[in-house]
Structure 1
Amino acid sequence: MHHTGSQSRRAWLLIGAASTAVLTTTALLGPAMRAGEATSHWDAPATFADKQIDASDLYAFTSPENPDTVTIIADYIPFQIPHKPYDFDTNTRYEVHIDNTGTGRPAITYRWTFKTNSPLPVAPSSIRKRTHQAGPVDSLVEQSYTLTKLQEGKPAQTLVTNGYVAPTDIGPLITPGYSRLRQKAVRDLPGGGKVFTGTAADPFYSDNDAVNTLRFGLRFFPIKSGVPMNVSSLALQLPKSELALGGDASANPVVGIWTTASRKSLGSDHRQVSRLGNPNFNEVIIPLVERDRFNTLRPENDESGGLVGPSTLDPHQAKVVADRVNAQAPPAPRKDLEEIYLTGLTTQRDGPIKEDLNSHLLNRDVSGISRVEELRLNMSTPLAAKPDKWGILKGDKQGYPNGRRLIDDVVTINLRMLLGEPAGKGKPDVVDENSPAFLWKPISGSFPYLALPVTAAP
C-alpha cells in the first residue's frame, strides 16, 4: 500500500470519497441509464431495487491464523449509510452452499433465518425493508437468527438458536461499548468452527478505473479505494474436514461455494431471488436482460439451461472493454473463461490455462464434473508468504480465482482475465498499478476479520 503524509492522505480520501459517490450516484441512476449496471455490488435490476436480498460479495479462504479451517463470508445489503440501522429480511432464507463433487448440487447448506426482537413497537420488517427510514424507535431494533445445517442424506441440524446479530454502530449514546456487541455476535459452533452475523465495514476494495472499465466500458480516475459504507455479513469459520467430500480434505481438497437468498411470498414456498458465486459474473458475463433470471437459477442447472455456458464462451462485454482500452480480446469460444468460472483450472481437461489449481477433478473421489458457476477453493493450497492482491496473475496461487480473500482486487483481476490473462498476454497495464491506494478500515487478523462498522467519514 502506498503511504502519504496526513495532508496528502486527506486529499486522496476526499477524492476517493468523491469517486465512490460518483459510482453510487451512477448506480442510483442506473435504471435510467443502464439498468442493473451500477457498481460491482448491484448485479441485476431486481436486486438493485431490493437491497435486502442483494448479495454484494462472497469470500472464501483458508483462515490464516487457523489453517485447518476455511472462512466463508457472504455480504448482503450493500451501501449502508453509517449510523443508520439496517436489518435482514425476516421472510428470507439466506444460505451458503458447498459443492464438493463438482455437480452444482449442494452437499452442505448453511441457512440463516431471522427474527426481529424489539423492546418497543416498530413497523414490521416487511413494511420497512425497502425504505430503511430509520428513526429513534428503529434504532432500538435488534435481530436474532437461527442457523441450520442441511446435508444430503441427513436430518437438518440446528447449529444456533436465538443467535445475536451485531447491530449498526449508532454511536456511544445508543450503542455504547460497540466492540463488546461485536464480540457477542461471534459464536462457537458445535463440532468446531465459529459464526459471526451482523453489521461490518464493507471490505470491498478496487481500482475505480477498473470498476468503470469492466462494468461500463468507460475510463475513470485511477483511485484505488474501499467503500466508506457498511454491509450485513454472514461469516463462518469451518473445519476443512467438514466441507471436504468424504470428510477427507487431503484427498478431496476442492469445494465450490455460492450464496443465495430465497424469499417467501404469500401463499407460496421460498423462491430463490439472489445468487452469487464468482464476483462480477452476473453483471459482466450474463446479458442484462437475463440477469434477474440468472439469480433464480441453481448451479446444477447451469450446464443444460442454455444461458450460463453460452454467455461465458462469448461474453459481449469482452468486446466492449477491449475496444475502450485499445486491446484485442481473445476470440470466442472463450475456453479460458469457461475454465475460470465453470470448471476450475486443471490440466486434465486440456484447456488453455495449463494449471492444476481448483477444479473438482483434482479431488481423488471425483471422476466427472459439470460446467457450473461457483467460487472454487482448493483448500490444500499453501498460505502465501507474501499475498498479492492480483492473485494468480502475479503468481499467488492462493488468491482469486482460487477462492477469494478480503485483500484480492477481484475487479482488476476479472478485467484482465476478460482480456485474456492468464491464458495469454492480455493487457496487464489496463489499470495504473502505481496510483495511491487506501482502505477505509483495515481488516483484523482473526475471525471474522471484518472491520467494525464505518461510523463517519474520515
Structure 2
Amino acid sequence: MMLNLIGRRPWLMAAAASTTVLATTVLATTVLAGAVLLGPAMNAVTATSHWDAPGTFKDKVIDASDLYAFTSPDKPDTVTIVANYIPFQIPYKPYQFDTNVQYDLHIDNTGSGKAAITYRWTFRNKGFPVPSLLRREHQAAGPESLVEQSFTLTKLRPGRPDQTLIRDGYVGPSDMGILITPGYQGLRQKAVLDLPGGGKVFTGQAADPFFSDNKAVNLLRFGIPFPPIATGVPMNVDSLAIQVPKSELALGGDPTANPVVGVWTTAARKSLNGEYKQVSRLGNPNFNEVLIPFASRDRFNGMRPQDDAGSGLVVESTRDPEQARTVERQAGVKAPAPPRADLEEIYLTGLTTKRGGPLKDDLNSQLLNRDASGFTSTEQLRLNMSTPVTAKPHKYGYLKGDKQGYPNGRRLTDDVVTVNLRMLLGEPAGPGAPGLIDENNPVYLTAPITGSFPYVALPVH
C-alpha cells in the first residue's frame, strides 16, 4: 500500500527518498567515523571489506569491492564472472565509471600468473543528455552528473589482435527512483547484451550482494569480537558481469581436459603522459586487507600475479600472517604456527595433491589442467569449471563439503568473510576454531539475487 501511495504522490516519493538518503548517509558516516577513530593501527581503511588499501579508499571509482566466479546455475555450460566497483553508493544518487580508467577481468588457464584472456571495459560520456523526465529513459541528477555513458568491451589475448566484442554498449544507469528513472526493470534488461559467439554481458548499477556475520567481519579485519549479527550492505555498487561458454576460458578450448581457470580484476588509471598504471587488484576476497601488511597494500594493488612469487611480499605474507596472531590474542583461540603451507595452497596454488601440500584434494589448481605449463605461486580466485553445480549450496562452501563453493570460485551466497576467518585459524587442514562464529546465522542479502544472468539484484532504495 505504501509503495502505491508513494507512486501516486511525488511529494511522498521525495520524502521517502530523503529519509532513505539520510539513513544511509548516517550509516556510511558512522562506518567512516569508526574507521578514523580506530586509526592506522587498527587498519582504518579496512573498516569494511570494500576498502582494501589507502589508494582505493581515496579513489573509490577504481575500488573493486568484490569478485565472483561460478558456473552459471541455469546455464551450466557457461561461467559467470561479476566484478563490483564503486562501493557504498547511496540510493537516489548517480554514480558513473571513470572514462580515464581501464577495468579489466583477467583469466589465467595455465597457472603462470599471466592472463591468457582479458576482458576490458572502457567508458565514454555521450554528451549532455535530455533530462529523463522528458525522455523517460535515462538518469538525471545534478549538473555535475548529467552525462550518459556507453562502454566498449574488448577481448585481449597475447599474440592475437584485440577483438571488440561490444561497441557503444548501454550502461545501466543509477536508479534515481520512479520519478526520474521510471520502469527501471526495463533499463536493467536493456543493459544485458548478447556477445558474439555466445554469452552475455551486463554493465550497470546493482544492489551490493556482500553480506557476513558482524562478529566475523570485525575479528577478521581488526581482531575485535563484536556481537554475532548477520548483516548486509544496504547500498549499491556498479557491476561488470560477463557470462561466457566454458570453452572460451579453458586452455586450448577444452574444459574437459583443462577445467581450472584463475580470475582476477584490475583497474588501471590513465596518467598525464597517456599511459595506464594499475591501481587496483582483486582475486580472493579479503586477501589484501587481511594477509598483506597495511603499508604494502597499495603496492600489492599495483602488482601483476606473475610477479607474486619473487616479490618478497605475497608468498611471505601468506605463510606468516600477522592477523592470525591478532585474532588469537583477541578471541582466545589458537591458529597454526607459521609457515602456513595450508594458506599458501588455498590462496596461491589452489588445492592439489601434485605439490605435496597439507590439503589432500585435487580441487582447483591449474596443475590439474592436462596441458598447463609454467605454473608458479600466484594469488588469484581459482575455479574448477567441471565441479557440478550444488543443488543446495552451503554458505561455507568447501569447509562444509560443498566443493562448488568458495574457495573453488565464489558464488553470490558464499559467506567468504567467515570462511576466510576459519581458514586463517587453520581449517580445513586442521581443526581450526569452527565454533567461533554461529553457523546458524542466515545468509543475509539486502536484496535477493535473481535466477538468471546477471544474477545480482536490482539497486536498493
Please report the TM-score for the alignment, with normalisation by the length of structure 2: 0.90
1:43-442 map, 5 Å:
43-120=52-129, 135-138=141-144, 140-435=146-441, 438-442=444-448
Q: Distance in 2 between matches of 1:29 and 1:360?
A: 43
For each residue in 1:292-328, what CA deviation from the matched residue of structure 2 results, as whole angstroms up to 9, or x when unmatched? Answer: 0000000000011111010000010011012222111
Counterpart amino acid of residue 26 in structure 1: G
Q: Distance in 1 between matches of 2:24 and 2:101?
A: 34
Q: Distance in 1 between matches of 2:177 and 2:293?
A: 42
Q: Distance in 2 between matches of 1:25 and 1:336?
A: 36
1:434-453 map, 5 Å:
434-435=440-441, 438-453=444-459
- Give the gaps of 5 or more residues in structure 1: 1-14, 123-133
The verdict on how the C-alpha distance between 1:264 and 1:30 changes in structure 2, with shifts beyond 3 A counting, is farther
Give the deviation of 1:23 after TM superposition.
Answer: 4.0
- Given candidates 24, 30, 34, the residue that maps to 1:26 is 34
The verdict on how the C-alpha distance between 1:421 and 1:397 changes in structure 2, with shifts beyond 3 A counting, is same
Q: Distance in 2 between matches of 1:268 and 1:100?
A: 31
Secondary structure of 2:435's aligned partner: coil
Q: Distance in 1 between matches of 2:287 and 2:26?
A: 26
Is the Cα contact below 8 Å between 2:413 and 2:443 reproduced in 1?
A: no
Secondary structure of 2:151's aligned partner: strand
Q: Distance in 2 between matches of 1:310 and 1:229?
A: 35
Give the deviation of 1:31 after TM superposition.
Answer: 5.7
Give the deviation of 1:117 after TM superposition.
Answer: 2.2
Is the Cα contact below 8 Å between 2:320 and 2:339 reproduced in 1?
A: yes
Q: Distance in 1 between matches of 2:441 and 2:25?
A: 15
For each residue in 1:209-261, what CA deviation from the matched residue of structure 2 results, as whole angstroms up to 9, or x when unmatched? Answer: 10100000011121112110000100000100000000000000000000000
Give the deviation of 1:208 after TM superposition.
Answer: 1.1
Counterpart amino acid of residue 254 in structure 1: V
Is the Cα contact below 8 Å between 1:120 and 1:137 reproduced in 2?
A: no
Secondary structure of 1:271's aligned partner: strand
Comparing 432-441 and 286-295, the one that deviates more: 432-441
Give the deviation of 1:439 after TM superposition.
Answer: 1.9
Secondary structure of 1:238's aligned partner: strand
The verdict on how the C-alpha distance between 1:401 and 1:436 changes in structure 2, with shifts beyond 3 A counting, is closer
2:20 matched to which residue of 1?
none
Q: Distance in 2 between matches of 1:156 and 1:367?
A: 24
For each residue in 1:373-403, what CA deviation from the matched residue of structure 2 results, as whole angstroms up to 9, or x when unmatched? Answer: 0000000001112100000110000000000
2:18 matched to which residue of 1?
none
The verdict on how the C-alpha distance between 1:28 and 1:54 changes in structure 2, with shifts beyond 3 A counting, is farther
Give the deviation of 1:138 after TM superposition.
Answer: 4.6
Give the deviation of 1:118 after TM superposition.
Answer: 3.5
Is the Cα contact below 8 Å between 1:16 and 1:223 reproduced in 2?
A: no
2:50 matched to which residue of 1?
41
CA RMSD in angstroms, aligned pairs only:
2.0
Counterpart amino acid of residue 216 in structure 2: A
Counterpart amino acid of residue 391 in structure 1: G
Q: Distance in 2 between matches of 1:21 and 1:354?
A: 46
Please report the TM-score for the alignment, with normalisation by the length of structure 1: 0.90
How many residue pairs end up in the alignment? 430
The verdict on how the C-alpha distance between 1:65 and 1:435 changes in structure 2, with shifts beyond 3 A counting, is closer
The verdict on how the C-alpha distance between 1:401 and 1:297 changes in structure 2, with shifts beyond 3 A counting, is same
